[in-house]
Amino acid sequence: MIAHYGYADGSGEYYLIVDTDRCDGCGRCVEVCPNDILELAPDDYGKTVVRVKDEFVNSIGYICPACKRRDERCESVCEHAALSYTW
């Protein structure tokens, strides 16, 4: 399943995308997130996967793009390429 966390507005689309079929719930992405917006939680099928915390979904376009300059980012540490983004 592909989960989109974020929003679209007049300035663009701001989504963190999680491929839950690829995510193994290792939590490495949660550990490297400097803004503490990620968490591990069970999906609809009981599998533990990464997700964006509810309180950050509508502000992801302001929080996450700054991480593009970091060497260690959520999508870069994911061994299974389960994370991507649209900005």
Burial of 5: CB neighbours in 10 Å, binned 0-12, 13-18, 19+? buried
In the predicted model, is pLDDT for residue 69 greater than 90? no
CA atoms of 45 and 12, how far apart (whole Å):
32
- Residue 67 sits in which domain range? 2-85
pLDDT tens sequence across 18-55? 999 999 999 999 999 999 999 999 998 999 999 999 99
Query: Looking at residue 22, which CATH number applies to its domain?
Result: 3.30.70.20
CA atoms of 26 and 86, how far apart (whole Å):
23
How many domains does the chain divide into?
1
**CA quadruple 34, 37, 40, 46: dihedral, nearest 10:** -160
pTM comes to: 0.89
